[in-house]
Structure formats: structure tokens, C-alpha cells
């Protein structure tokens, strides 16, 4: 079974094709400057990177070009799109609605839109990617994987802020936590490497990248994390 994983940004698109039987990454790429002049795709397959300068005025055009590369005789890893079992979309904010990955339906899309105020730089871009895929491959199963889902096990006394309760009821102001897919995977690998049941371990994960967070994990579940309401972060000057 092969799947395509997409991570849609406001003007970018990252992707991987993974063979789930062998857990091998068959291809990966990064489309940059979508909707801007001089947009281009860096497509890597068999350890070789290929750069394509290609105009993409929106995500639909970008995804369509990516799918063409993936099925291309010279650069592709698929005979046709029928080889794909589905498409996975990384979605940053699922609010309180989603505690696990879900099949994408129109109702799910509406719920993701409702969380856009909490992730204004991320969720709208995710929706662009989802909507583009619906147009290009309308019958393809799609799954949303949420950065916040893993942290829905955090207790109320940990996720509630010491501010008037009306702000939680009115505006959903609370701690949500992010990088959940990373924290969940890394903690699982820690248990695997140690040869222990994750339910017997207490783990502190550090996710270090363009965004950073720390997560306390007990019995395989997130119990505390350092990121809060949104994935927006301050710059180096603290502004």
C-alpha cells in the first residue's frame, strides 16, 4: 500500500510517497513560492534531486504538477494514481474536536475551518491543499492528521489558563499543544529501542526544529507540553 503525505503551507507544499508495507520513502519534494513569480519544485527520487521551474498560481496547480511528476516515466514512482491507497494531510490545529486522525469529509473540513482563528497561518493553507486534492482526485480517500490530537489527553487543570473562564467558553482559549505527531512517534520509538512497553515508561520529549516544544508523556499519553493556544511563535527579539 502506497500513500501520499502532504503538508500544505500558505505558499509552499511538502510531500512524500511512502510504501507502507516496507516503510520505505519512495519520493519526496518541496514546492516553493506557490502563487508567486518564479515558483519551483524540488523533487527527490532514488537519492537524486530534480529541480523544475514551473508556474503554480495556486495549490491546485502545484499539486497537479506534483502528481504528474510522481507518475512521470523519468521521475515518477507510480505507474498511475491508482497505486495510491490514499492521501494524508498534516493539519496543525484540530481544537477540541479531534483526538485522533480522521477520514476527511465535508463536515471535517468545516471543523478545520472553525479552528483557523487559532492557527491563521496554518489551517487555511491545509484547507487549500485538501480542496485542491478533492478537485484533482475526487474519489481518493483522504485522512487528516492533527498536530494537536496527541495532546487531548492532557488534564483540564493543566490545559486551562488562570484567566476568566468566559474566555475559554467564548473564544476557546486554552492550552492545546503542538508537534503531536512528532512527540507520539518519538516516544513510541524510545519504547521500541528500550524494548519496553510504552505504558511502563515516563518520557520527556524535546521537539527541536523551526518550532520547538517539550512534552511529558506517561503511559504513552501526553500529560503536559510547553506549547499553548496557537502554533504562532515569537521571533528572536521576543516580539
Give the residue numbers annotated as catalytic, written as ranges.
147
Q: What is the DSSP string of the chain?
A: -EEEEEEE-SS-EEEEEEETTTTEEEEEEEEESTTSTT-EEEEEETTEEEEEE---SSHHHHHHHHHHHHT-TTT-S-SSGGGEEEEEEEES--TTT-SS-EE--HHHHHHHHHTTTTSTTTHHHHHHHHHHHHHHSTTS-EEEEESSGGGGGS-HHHHS-SS-THHHHHH--S-----HHHHHHHHHHHHHHHTS-GGG-EEEEEE-SSS-EEEEEETTEEEEES--S-S----TT--
Contacts of 215 (CB under 8 A, 6+ apart): 151, 177, 179, 183, 187, 204, 205, 207, 222, 224, 225, 226
Amino acid at each position: 500500500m502506497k500513500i501520499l503525505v502532504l503538508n500544505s503551507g500558505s505558499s509552499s507544499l511538502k510531500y512524500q510517497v511512502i510504501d507502507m508495507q516496507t516503510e520505505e520513502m519512495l519520493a519526496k519534494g518541496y514546492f516553493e513560492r506557490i502563487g508567486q513569480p518564479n515558483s519551483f519544485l524540488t523533487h527527490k527520487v532514488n537519492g537524486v534531486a530534480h529541480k523544475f521551474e514551473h508556474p503554480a498560481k495556486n495549490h491546485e496547480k502545484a499539486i497537479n504538477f506534483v502528481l504528474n511528476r510522481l507518475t512521470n516515466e523519468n521521475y515518477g514512482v507510480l505507474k498511475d494514481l491508482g497505486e495510491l491507497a490514499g492521501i494524508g494531510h498534516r493539519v496543525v490545529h484540530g481544537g477540541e474536536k479531534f483526538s485522533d486522525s480522521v477520514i476527511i469529509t465535508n463536515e471535517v473540513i468545516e471543523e478545520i475551518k472553525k479552528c483557523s482563528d487559532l492557527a491563521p497561518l496554518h489551517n487555511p493553507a491545509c484547507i487549500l491543499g485538501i480542496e485542491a486534492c478533492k478537485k484533482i482526485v475526487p474519489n481518493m480517500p483522504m485522512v487528516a492528521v492533527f498536530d494537536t490530537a496527541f495532546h487531548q489527553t492532557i488534564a483540564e487543570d493543566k490545559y486551562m489558563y488562570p484567566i476568566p473562564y468566559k474566555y475559554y467558553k467564548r473564544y476557546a482559549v486554552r492550552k492545546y499543544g503542538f508537534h503531536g505527531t512528532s512527540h507520539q512517534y518519538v516516544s513510541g520509538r524510545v519504547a521500541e529501542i528500550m524494548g519496553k512497553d510504552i505504558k511502563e515508561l515516563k518520557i520527556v520529549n524535546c521537539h527541536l526544529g523551526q518550532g520547538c516544544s517539550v512534552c511529558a508523556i506517561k503511559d504513552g499519553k501526553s500529560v503536559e507540553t510547553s506549547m499553548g493556544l496557537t502554533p504562532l511563535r515569537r521571533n528572536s527579539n521576543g516580539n
